[in-house]
Structure 1
Amino acid sequence: MIETIIFDFGDIFINLDHQATQLELQKLGLKEWNEELQQLNLKYETGKIDELTFLQGIQKHIPNADLLDIRAAWNAILLDFPLKRLEFLQMLSSKYKLFLLSNTDATHIEKFEHKVGMSFAREFYSCFEKVYFSFEFGFRKPDENAFKFVINNHNLIPKKTLFVDDKLDNIEAAKKLELNTWHLQVGKEEVTDLFNKI
């Protein structure tokens, strides 16, 4: 019997265009997203560096680009958040304990809140017992410490908890901790199909 559901954020609730940021950065002159940039991103996503350090780190690879243009390119990944998903979540929150566990950064969250408006964002956040963004609590999936942090903080019973994510490596990490999982297939499945999965 499922009592608790832990959701990912990107491509579960908010739609993402994974190619958009890459294309926009290329337009600004970036040749390739290399290992140095990947490590920079991981540091930013776990709150080890601030936004300015992150954007300046990208700027080193595209010195002719303005920081604001780099920021806009970085946020190009964020698309729409269909209202039906929020309405579904609101209905769900009266039946289950809900948590949000997302690998994300301060720039994306600020953009999300601006894009949808603060009243929409507040309604979204209020569906959850607690919202865990990687940049705020220092762990990112698939690190098992990210899951353990949520489980231990709220005394969750893994076998009574469902984890919903679109990335297979995150799903596999959750399974090792005996969480029930739904590997949502983006474009083929909707989070609103949840009751077909429980």
Structure 2
Amino acid sequence: MIKNIIFDFGGVLLPIEISKTALEFERLGLSDFENIYSMKKQVRFFDDFEKGNIPASAFRSEIRKHYKRPLSDEEIDFAWNALLGELPPERFNFLKELGEKYNLYLLSNTNSIHYSAFINTLNQTFGKDQFEKLFVKTYYSFQMGSRKPDKRIFGMVIRDSGVNPQETVFIDDNLDNAMAAQNAGLNAIHDGGLEIEKELTAMLSAF
């Protein structure tokens, strides 16, 4: 019986469009962004940033170094945050109702710049800390020193939360992440989240 649900954030709950960030960098005269960053592959400094191994200032320096352009912090942050969509109110309400039946957790590969941006938007839209309160606990890669699909991050979440993996399902839009969760002992669902409100009940019934 499933008692716990661990959600990915971007791509499952929050719409993500990497093409929008690529477009913003193109407007700055910079091409090839999608060659250095995608859902499946990215150059090392993106990984380091999502693991919290480098601060935002070092990440911005790497962007400037790659493009050989004196971009401002504001230009970089605006382009980098362009990929973030908005959480639909109906999804917020869905999570609120779901939390009455299951223990909800969040496990996201993210970084300090994106975190500041989406937390600010969520607080403005739904009230201060109301999104975070939907979950028993939220886990962000840049605060943990590890990122999906590294098996270690799943072990960290399992130990910290105290959940029984057999009673827990993990949902992610990245197949590699879902498979890594399975290898860590969790039940896993690979889903893009576009119709998750309609699909989740049927998905959970499979376990």
Same fold by TM-score, threshold 0.5 exceeded?
Answer: yes
Runs of 5+ unmatched residues, structure 1: none
Q: Structure 1 residues 99 and 186 mapped into 2: Cα distance closer, same or farther (>3 Å)?
A: closer
Q: Structure 1 residues 146 and 56 mapped into 2: Cα distance closer, same or farther (>3 Å)?
A: same
Q: Structure 1 residues 191 and 53 mapped into 2: Cα distance closer, same or farther (>3 Å)?
A: farther
Q: Counterpart of 2:52 in structure 1: which amino acid?
A: G
Instruction: State the match for 1:109 in structure 2.
Output: 115
Q: Counterpart of 1:38 in structure 2: which amino acid?
A: V
Q: Counterpart of 1:46 in structure 2: which amino acid?
A: K
- 1:118-150 C-alpha deviation (Å, 9 max, x unpaired): 454611110111100000111110000110001
Select which of 123, 127, 134 maps to 2:134.
Answer: 127
Question: TM-score when scaled to structure 2?
Answer: 0.88
SS at match of 1:197: helix
Shift of 1:190: 2.1
Shift of 1:6: 0.5
CA contact (8 A) 2:103 2:136 kept: yes
Instruction: State the match for 1:41 in structure 2.
Output: 46
Instruction: State the match for 1:75 in structure 2.
Output: 81
Shift of 1:92: 1.2
Q: Structure 1 residues 56 and 191 mapped into 2: Cα distance closer, same or farther (>3 Å)?
A: farther
Shift of 1:31: 3.5
Instruction: State the match for 1:11 in structure 2.
Output: 11
CA distance in 2: counterparts of 1:89 and 1:16, whole angstroms: 19
Select which of 53, 58, 69 maps to 1:53.
Answer: 58
CA contact (8 A) 1:88 1:192 kept: no
SS at match of 2:59: helix
Q: Does residue 97 of the first structure (1) align with residue 103 of the second (2)?
A: yes
Q: Counterpart of 2:145 in structure 1: which amino acid?
A: G
Larger mean CA deviation between 25-34 and 15-24 belongs to: 25-34
CA distance in 1: counterparts of 2:192 and 2:134, whole angstroms: 23
SS at match of 1:181: strand
Shift of 1:13: 1.4
Instruction: State the match for 1:2 in structure 2.
Output: 2
* Percent of aligned pairs with the same amino acid: 37
CA contact (8 A) 1:21 1:73 kept: yes
Instruction: State the match for 1:31 in structure 2.
Output: 31
CA contact (8 A) 2:22 2:31 kept: no
CA contact (8 A) 2:13 2:193 kept: no
Instruction: State the match for 1:175 in structure 2.
Output: 182
After superposition, the CA RMSD in angstroms is 1.9
- 1:45-70 C-alpha deviation (Å, 9 max, x unpaired): 01111111111210123314222111
CA contact (8 A) 1:162 1:181 kept: yes
CA distance in 1: counterparts of 2:131 and 2:107, whole angstroms: 13
CA contact (8 A) 1:5 1:162 kept: yes
Q: Structure 1 residues 9 and 56 mapped into 2: Cα distance closer, same or farther (>3 Å)?
A: same
Q: Structure 1 residues 87 and 186 mapped into 2: Cα distance closer, same or farther (>3 Å)?
A: closer
CA distance in 2: counterparts of 1:155 and 1:61, whole angstroms: 42
- 1:141-192 C-alpha deviation (Å, 9 max, x unpaired): 00001100011112221111100111100011111123111111354x3245
Q: How many residues are paired up?
A: 197
Q: Does residue 66 of the first structure (1) align with residue 72 of the second (2)?
A: yes
